Structure 1
Amino acid sequence: MFVLPPPPPRYSVPLAYAAGASNGMAVPVVETNNVIRHPEGGCPLQVGEGTYDLQDDLHLATPPPHPSEAPITNPNPLATTPSPPTSGVKLSLVSLGPRRKTPQLYSVRLGSGGISDLKSIKENIREGRLSDSGSDSFRRSNGSAPAFGEGNPALASPSGKDGLKRRKPKNNIIKSSSSFVSRVIMHESATKRLSERNPDGLFAFANINRAFQWLDLSSKSKEEPLAKILFTKAHMLCHDVNELTKTASHIDVIMGSSAGDIIWYEPMSQKYARINKNGVVNNSPVAHIKWIPGSENLFLAAHANGQLVVYDKEKEDAFFTPELNQIPEKANGKPNARKALQVLKSVNSRNQKNNPVAIWRLSNQRINQFAFSPDHRHLAVVLEDGSLRVMDYLREEVMDIFTSYYGGLICVCWSPDGKYIVTGGQDDLVTIWSLAERKIVARCQGHNSWVSAVAFDPWRCDERTYRFGSVGDDCRLLLWDFSVGMLHRPKALQATARQRNSIVVPGTQHLSRHRTDSTSNRVRSNSDQTDKPEDDFEDTIIHPVEPRARTAQLPPIMSKIVGEDPICWLGFQEDCIMTSSLEGHIRTWSRPREGVNENHANNLSTVTGFGSGSGSATEP
Structure 2
Amino acid sequence: MIETNNILSTPEDQFLVGEGTYVLKEDLLLATPPPHPSEAPVINPNPLATNPQPATAGTKVSLLSLDARRPPAAFYKLTGTATLPGSIAEHPNEWGLSNDAKLSSDGEGRGTSVSDIGAPASATADPNKRRKPKNNMTKSNSSFISRVIINEAFSKKMADRPNDGIFVFANINRAFQWLDLSSPTKAEYLTKILFTKAHCLSHDVNLVTKSSSHIDIIMGFSTGEIIWWEAMSQRYTRLNKNGVINKTPVSQIRWIPGAENLFLAAHMDGSLVVYDKEKEDAVFSQEDEEVQPNGENTSPNIKPSDKISVLKSVHSKNQKTNPVAIWKLSNQRINSFNFSPDNRHLAVVSEDGTMRIIDYLKEELLGLYNAYYGGFTCVCWSPDGKYVLTGGQDDLISIWYPQETTLVARCQGHQAWVTSVAFDPWSRRTDNAVQSRPVYRPYTAPKLKAHPRVEYAQGRPFRS
TM-score normalized by the length of structure 2: 0.84
- CA change 1:178–1:369 in 2 (3 A) is same
Specify the alignment match of 1:252 in structure 2. 216
Residue 471 (structure 1) aligned to one of 400, 421, 433: 433
Kept in 2: contact 1:412–1:422 (CA 8 A):
yes
Residue of structure 2 equivalent to 1:383: 350
1:361 equivalent in structure 2:
328
Match of 2:443 among 462, 480, 485: 480
SS in 1 for 2:176: strand
- Structure 1 residues 82-138: Cα deviation after superposition (integer angstroms, max 9, x where no partner): 96632111011110113342x13324x3449xxx89x99xxxxxxxxxxxxxx9874
1:405 Cα offset (Å): 0.3
SS at match of 1:233: coil
CA contact (8 A) 1:308 1:362 kept: yes
Residue pairs, 1:567-578, within 5 angstroms: none
Could you tell me how far apart the structure 2 residues matched to 1:136 and 1:34 are?
43
Aligned to 2:21: 51
* Matching residue's letter, 1:34: N
Farther-moved stretch of structure 1 (470-479 vs 310-319): 470-479
Sort the Cα spacing of 1:141 and 1:240 in 2 relative to 1 into closer, same or farther, 3 A. closer
The equivalent position to 1:293 in structure 2, one of 252, 257, 261, is 257
Distance change (3 Å), C-alpha of 1:77 and 1:298: closer
Q: Check if 1:419 corresponds to 2:391.
A: no
1:165 equivalenced with 2:129 (yes/no): yes
Deviations 1:185-241 (A, max 9, x none): 110101100000011011010011100000001111110000000001200000000
Q: 1:232/1:326 Cα in 2 relative to 1: closer, same or farther (>3 Å)?
A: farther
Q: Distance in 2 between matches of 1:431 and 1:175?
A: 48
Query: Is the 2:206–2:255 Cα contact (8 Å) retained in structure 1?
Result: yes
Which amino acid in 2 is paired with 1:92? S
1:62 aligns with 2:29: no
Contact 1:409 1:425 in 2 (8 A): yes
* CA deviation vs aligned residue, 1:562-595 (integer Å, no higher than 9, x gap): xxxxxxxxxxxxxxxxxxxxxxxxxxxxxxxxxx
- Give the Å deviation of 1:518: 6.6
Provide the residue aligned with 2:192 in structure 1.
Answer: 228
Distance (whole Å) between structure 2 residues aligned to residue 517 and residue 195 of structure 1: 57
**Whole-angstrom distance in 2 between the partners of 1:378 and 1:161:** 27
Residue 146 (structure 2) aligned to one of 177, 182, 193: 182
What is the SS of the residue equivalent to 2:289?
Answer: helix
Q: Cα deviations across residues 53-101 of structure 1 (Å, max 9, x unaligned)?
A: 011110111111012236559985658xx96632111011110113342
Say whether the 8 Å CA contact 2:215–2:230 is kept in structure 1.
yes
Q: Aligned-residue CA RMSD in angstroms?
A: 3.1
Which residue does 2:269 correspond to in 1?
A: 305
- Counterpart code for 1:370: F
Tell me, what secondary structure is at the counterpart of 2:327? strand
8 Å CA contact 1:85–1:209 kept in 2: the answer is: no
Larger relative contact order (C-alpha < 8 A, sep ≥ 6)?
Answer: 1
Compute the displacement of 1:431 (Å).
0.7
Query: Which residues in structure 2 correspond to 1:492-511 (within 5 Å)?
Result: none
2:75 counterpart (106, 115, 128): 106
Give the letter aligned to residue 361 of structure 1: K
SS in 1 for 2:257: coil
1: CA distance, partners of 2:421 / 2:323:
30
Judging changes above 3 Å, is the alpha-carbon distance between structure 1 residues 338 and 210 closer, same or farther for their aligned structure 2 residues? closer
Tell me, yes or no, if the aligned pair for 1:438 and 1:520 is still in contact at 8 Å: no
SS in 2 for 1:356: coil
CA distance in 2, matches of 1:164, 1:350: 32
Could you say which residue in structure 1 is the equivalent of 2:57?
A: 87
- The DSSP-based 3-state class of the residue aligned with 1:325 is coil
How far did residue 348 of structure 1 move?
Answer: 0.2
DSSP 3-state at the match of 2:155:
helix
Q: Is the contact between residue 326 and residue 346 of structure 1 (CA under 8 Å) also seen in structure 2?
A: no
Measured at CA, do residues 70 and 337 of structure 1 come closer, stay the same or move farther in structure 2, by a change above 3 Å?
farther
Q: 1:309 to 1:71 in 2, by over 3 A?
A: farther
d(CA) in 2 for partners of 1:449 and 1:111?
42
Alignment partners' CA distance in 1, 2:129 and 2:390: 39
In structure 2, the partner of 1:321 is 285
The aligned residue for residue 35 of structure 1 is 7
Matched, 1:401 2:368: yes
Which runs of no fewer than 5 residues in structure 2 stay unpaired? 86-96, 113-123, 294-302
Distance 2:101 2:288 in 1: 34
1:442 matches 2:412: no
Correspondences of 1:522-541 after superposition (within 5 Å): 540-541=459-460
Instruction: Please list the CA deviations of residues 455-476 of structure 1 after superposition, one character each: whole Å capped at 9, or x if unmatched.
Output: 11112x2xxxx11100011214
Q: CA deviation at 1:321?
A: 0.5
Deviations 1:517-543 (A, max 9, x none): 77597xx9xxxxxxxxxxxxxxx459x
CA 1:83–1:56 in 2, change beyond 3 Å: closer, same or farther? Answer: farther
Looking at structure 2, the residues matched to 422 and 473 of structure 1 have their Cα atoms a distance apart, in angstroms, of 17
Local SS of the residue matching 2:5: coil
Aligned length: 423
Cα distance in 1, alignment partners of residues 453 and 406 from structure 2: 12
SS at match of 1:90: strand
- Higher Rg: 1
C-alpha distance 400-190 of structure 1, shift in aligned 2 (>3 A):
same
Measure, in 2, the Cα distance between the counterparts of 1:520 and 1:449: 23
Structure-2 change in CA distance of 1:45 and 1:83 (3 Å): farther
Letter in 1 for 2:240: N
The answer to whether residue 318 in structure 2 is matched with residue 351 in structure 1 is yes
Q: Secondary structure at the match of 1:194?
A: helix
Inter-CA distance 90–96: structure 2 relative to 1 (3 Å threshold): same
Say if 1:350 and 1:59 are closer, same or farther in 2 by CA, change over 3 A. Answer: same
- Of 379-388 and 45-54, deviating more is 45-54
Inter-partner Cα distance in structure 2 for 1:145 and 1:350 = 31
Amino acid at match of 1:250: H
Q: How do 1:126-165 residues align onto structure 2 when only pairs under 5 Å count?
A: 138=100, 165=129
Cα distance in 2, alignment partners of residues 139 and 339 from structure 1 = 34
Quote the Cα distance in structure 2 between the aligned partners of 1:51 and 1:169. 45
CA contact under 8 A between 1:44 and 1:52: conserved in structure 2?
A: yes
State the SS of the aligned residue for 1:477. Answer: coil
What letter corresponds to residue 166 of structure 1 in structure 2? Answer: R
Asked if the contact 1:326/1:343 (under 8 Å) is kept, the reply is no
Alpha-carbon spacing, 1:169–1:444, altered in 2? closer, same or farther (3 Å): same
Structure 2 counterpart SS, 1:281: coil
Q: Quick one: structure 1 residues 328 and 164, their matched pair in 2 at CA, closer, same or farther if it must change by over 3 Å?
A: farther
Partner in structure 1 of residue 94 of structure 2: none
- 2:116 aligns with none
Question: Which has a greater percent of helix?
Answer: 1
Q: For 2:110 and 2:310, how far apart are their aligned partners in 1?
A: 21
> Residues 408 and 338 from structure 1, CA distance in 2 versus in 1: closer, same or farther, beyond 3 angstroms?
closer
**Partner Cα separation in structure 2 for residue 478 and residue 75 of structure 1:** 32
Matches of 1:206 and 1:219 in 2, distance apart?
16
* Structure 1 contact 183–229 (Cα < 8 Å) conserved: yes
Over residues 387-416 of structure 1, what are the superposed CA-to-partner deviations in whole Å (9 max), with x where a residue is unaligned? 010000000011000001010000001111
Aligned-residue sequence identity (percent) comes to 56
Partners of 1:145 and 1:377 within 8 A in 2: no
Q: Which amino acid aligns with 1:105?
A: A
CA shift in 2, pair 1:164/1:354, >3 Å: farther
SS in 2 for 1:436: helix
What's the TM-score, normalizing by structure 1?
0.63
